[in-house]
Amino acid sequence: MSPSDGVETDDSLTYDEWRNHLESGELVGLECRSCGHITATPKRACGDCGGRDLAPHHLPQSGEVHSETTITVPPAGVEGPYQVGIVDLGDGQLLGRIEGGVEIGDAVEFAGTVKLDGMPAPVFEPRD
């Protein structure tokens, strides 16, 4: 609920809308109107306070690698090895595939998407 009027709005972000933004090159998350917490993926409730009044929030296109790992034994149908990581976008953190090899603390930039089982996943590349 909004702290000012106590009325819930219906402008939260669905997975389909999030996916459409991602595929068009835009990173969008959600901001809780109750506490200000920002998440980088669609949720039905705030992970901090449990509030349900969430609004779309544009995220930066670049950030810093918070954690990373290399998948050496990929799932069937996926070429490997490949690197994935959690990218700190300042406002929120987003799990994505990383092309070009990075380490924790490296700067990366959103570079597009890769499809896994027909669903898009964000791809990040090292920033110059």
pLDDT tens digit sequence for 49-65: 999 999 999 999 999 99
Same domain, 74 and 48: no
Is the pLDDT confidence value at 28 over 60?
yes
CA-to-CA dists, residue 29 to 13, 14, 43, 99, 107, angstroms: 8, 10, 9, 22, 20
Asked, for residue 28, whether it belongs to a domain, the answer is yes
Same domain, 66 and 108: yes
The per-residue pLDDT for range 80-113, each reduced to its tens digit, is 899 999 999 998 999 999 999 899 999 999 999 9
Cβ-based neighbours of 37, under 8 Å, separated by 6 or more: 31, 46, 47, 48, 49
DSSP 27-39: -EEEEETTT--EE
Residue 46's domain spans which residues? Answer: 15-58
Same domain, 51 and 95: no
Give Cα 72 distance to the centre of its chain.
23
Asked, for residue 84, whether it belongs to a domain, the answer is yes
Same domain, 54 and 71: no
Asked, for residue 119, whether it belongs to a domain, the answer is yes
The answer to whether residues 73 and 80 touch, using CB atoms and an 8 Å cutoff, is yes
Residue at a domain's end among 30, 58, 86: 58
